């Protein structure tokens, strides 16, 4: 059962997102920035599946995002100019990519997991960079906006593409929320809080982490596939580890382990970067400073502040509308 406060919160976010194409131009921003926010939020949510729910410090999700972007863009450019099919192909590719590297990752925890995700992410990055006959190398390659069902069906532009992405995003967010309340999701959260105990219960946590990686790859890839269509371009920097770091930061900004945190984080990050860089070339200092400030002062992110209080209230009702921030994630061992 959803609590009243959350009904208000969710409705507020929903109304805000629906009205965004009207609000953005009013404050001097463009609609496609709204699309970018939503697609970055998808990528950040994919990080959140690993980081927030399973307690795994994933630092390579830009690779899934990029594989999705290249998969759909290549399909649309070379095989069939059909948006829906392109998205399916891109997402299948990214999920496959996750399946390929997952066996290397599922037994690793902590720093090793982070470093391995960075490293595998870089492998994908270099493949995109090197394989220039197919990917266009550093120059990237451009596509034309595909009709939604191919052939002579309509092409989505500007605000119609925004609403298309929003619809997909809403469905996915709802699905993620359901998953996190399912036995599977609760097991993932159990792994984050106390993996040893989960194992004592006879549960093979590696398998759960395998599925979490696939889920993460799927969500990130869908975001990437939609993004390459949005900008009608695909390029290797999408997979660079700096991009992964940005996605992680969005999660931290918004709130680790919360459903809406990545959305809020992505919005703050993308809008801040876009607006600041129009005013000052030193915007990187402000973004970097924001990272430092949040890590030191708000480690649980904006939503995390409220979530901790609410969780205490809801402990009995077993109703994690805002999923539990794994205790072990913030308070680590004394070094």
Partner 1 sequence: MFLPKRGAAADLIVIGASEEITGVYAEPARNEIRGMQLAVDQINKAGGVLSRQVKLVIEDNANNPGTAVEKARKLIQVDKINALIGTVNSANSQATSNVCLEATIPFVDTGGHTDSVTGQQCHWTSFRTCHSTWMETHATGYSIANKLGKKWYYLAPDYAFGHSLLDGYKDIEKKLGVTVVGEDLAPLGTTDFSAYLTKVLNAKPDVLIIMQQGQDLINCLKQANSLGLLKRIAVAGPQGEIENFWSLPKEARVGYWGFEWYYKSALVTGKNKAAADFIKTYTDLYKQPPTARSVFGYVTAQQLAAAITKAKSTDAVKVSQALSGEHFQGLWQGDAYYRDVDHQLIWPMWFGQVRGDGAGGDEWNIFEVVDSQPGDKVEKPADDQKAVCKLNYPA
Partner 2 sequence: MIEHLAPEIVNGIVLGAFYAIIAIGLSLIMNLTGTINLAHGSFMTLAGYLAFTLMSRGSNFWFALAASAICTAIIGLVVERLLISPLYKRVPLYSLLLTFGLSLVFEEVFRLIWGPSTVPFSAPPELSGATQIGDVFLPTYRLFIMVALVVVMVALLVFLYRTRLGLRLRGAVQDAEMLAALGTNTQLLYMTNFGLGILLAAIAGVLAAGLLGLGPTMGNDLLMPAFITVVIGGMGSLAGSIVGGLLVGLAISITTLYLPAASEVIMYVLMAVVLLIRPRGLFGEEGIFG
Contact residues: partner 2, CB under 8 A: 51, 57, 59, 104, 107-112, 114-116, 118-120, 122-123, 126-127, 129-130, 241, 245, 248-249, 252, 282, 284-285, 287-292, 295-296, 299, 328-332, 334-335
Residue 33: CA atoms inside 13 Å, Cβ hemisphere, count? Answer: 19
**x/- map, 201-230, partner 1, by CB under 8 A:** --------------------------x---
Q: What's the burial of 6, exposed, middle or buried (CB within 10 Å: 0-12/13-18/19+)? A: middle
φ/ψ (deg, to 5) at 58: -80, 125
Q: Which of 90, 58, 83 is nearest to 250 (CA)?
A: 58
Question: Which of residues 307 and 329 has its CB atom nearest to partner 2 in the complex?
Answer: 329
> Taking CB within 5 to 8 Å according to partner kind, which of partner 1, partner 2, none is near residue 299?
partner 2
Q: Which of 13, 65, 30 is nearest to 245 (CA)?
A: 65
For 202: left if phi > 0, alpha if psi spans -120 to 50, otherwise beta; the answer is left
Both tokens of 319, joined, read 């109703």
- Please name the residues in contact with 221: beta carbons below 8 A apart, sequence gap of 6 or more: 64, 65, 67, 68, 71, 90, 91, 93, 94, 95, 97
Pairing mode of beta strands 233-234, 141-142: antiparallel
Question: Which of residues 312 and 333 has its CB atom nearest to partner 2 in the complex?
Answer: 333
Least CB distance from residue 228 to partner 1, whole Å? 9
Query: Can you give the length of the chain in residues?
Result: 335
**x/- map, 111-150, partner 1, by CB under 8 A:** ------------------xx-x---xxxxx-x--x-----
- Please name the residues in contact with 242: beta carbons below 8 A apart, sequence gap of 6 or more: none
Both tokens of 186, joined, read 């609760």
Q: Is 22 in the site for partner 1 (CB under 8 A)?
A: no
Question: Residue 27 CA to chain centroid, in angstroms?
Answer: 26
Both tokens of 268, joined, read 């703050």
> Taking CB within 5 to 8 Å according to partner kind, which of partner 2, partner 1, none is near residue 331?
partner 2
Residues contacting partner 1: total by CB under 8 A: 34
Least CB distance from residue 290 to partner 1, whole Å? 16
Residue 11: CA atoms inside 13 Å, Cβ hemisphere, count? Answer: 7
Question: Which of residues 78 and 139 has its CB atom nearest to partner 1 in the complex?
Answer: 139
Q: Which of 132, 143, 39, 130 is nearest to 91 (CA)?
A: 39
Least CB distance from residue 81 to partner 1, whole Å? 15
Both tokens of 275, joined, read 């607006």
Question: Which of residues 139 and 315 has its CB atom nearest to partner 1 in the complex?
Answer: 139
Which residues, 143 to 162, sit near partner 1 by CB under 8 A?
145, 158-159
Chosen residue from 32, 114, 193, 194 binding partner 1 by CB under 8 A = 32
> Taking CB within 5 to 8 Å according to partner kind, which of partner 2, partner 1, none is near residue 233?
partner 1
- Please name the residues in contact with 71: beta carbons below 8 A apart, sequence gap of 6 or more: 89, 90, 91, 92, 93, 94, 221, 225
Q: Is 278 in the site for partner 1 (CB under 8 A)?
A: yes
Chosen residue from 8, 14, 15, 30 binding partner 1 by CB under 8 A = 30
> Taking CB within 5 to 8 Å according to partner kind, which of partner 2, partner 1, none is near residue 238?
partner 1
Chosen residue from 10, 13, 33, 88 binding partner 1 by CB under 8 A = 33
- Find residue 142's DSSP bridge partners: 233
Q: Is 283 in the site for partner 1 (CB under 8 A)?
A: yes
Q: Is 238 in the site for partner 1 (CB under 8 A)?
A: yes
Residues at the site binding partner 1, with contacts judged by CB under 8 A: 25, 28-33, 36, 129-130, 132, 136-140, 142, 145, 158-159, 227, 231-233, 235, 237-238, 273-274, 277-278, 281, 283-284
């Amino acid at each position: 059962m959803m609590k009243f406060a959350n009904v208000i919160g969710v409705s507020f976010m929903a109304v805000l997102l629906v009205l965004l194409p009207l609000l953005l131009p009013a404050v001097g921003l463009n609609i496609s920035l709204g699309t970018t926010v939503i697609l970055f939020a998808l990528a950040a949510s994919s990080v959140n599946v690993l980081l927030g729910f399973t307690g795994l410090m994933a630092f390579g999700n830009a690779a899934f995002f990029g594989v999705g972007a290249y998969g759909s863009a290549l399909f649309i450019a070379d095989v069939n100019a059909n948006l829906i099919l392109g998205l399916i192909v891109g997402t299948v590719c990214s999920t496959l990519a996750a399946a390929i590297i997952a066996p290397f990752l599922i037994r690793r925890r902590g720093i090793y997991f982070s470093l391995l995700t960075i490293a595998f992410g870089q492998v994908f990055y270099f493949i995109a960079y090197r394989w220039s006959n197919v990917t266009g190398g550093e120059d990237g390659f451009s596509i034309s906006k595909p009709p939604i069902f191919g052939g002579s069906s309509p092409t989505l532009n500007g605000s119609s593409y925004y609403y298309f992405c929003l619809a997909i995003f809403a469905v996915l967010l709802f699905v993620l929320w359901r998953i996190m309340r399912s036995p599977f999701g609760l097991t993932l959260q159990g792994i984050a809080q106390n993996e040893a105990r989960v194992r004592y219960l006879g549960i093979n946590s590696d398998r759960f982490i395998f599925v979490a990686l696939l889920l993460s790859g799927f969500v990130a890839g869908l975001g990437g596939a939609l993004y390459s269509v949005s900008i009608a371009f695909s390029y290797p920097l999408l997979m660079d580890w700096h991009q992964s770091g940005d996605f992680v930061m969005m999660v931290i900004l918004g709130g680790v382990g919360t459903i809406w945190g990545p959305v809020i984080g992505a919005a703050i990050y993308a809008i801040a970067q876009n607006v600041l860089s129009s005013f000052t070339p030193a915007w990187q200092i402000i973004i970097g400073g924001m990272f430092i400030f949040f890590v030191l002062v708000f480690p649980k992110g904006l939503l995390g502040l409220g979530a901790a209080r609410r969780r205490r209230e809801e402990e009995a009702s077993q109703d994690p509308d805002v999923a539990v921030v794994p205790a072990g994630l913030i308070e680590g061992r004394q070094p």
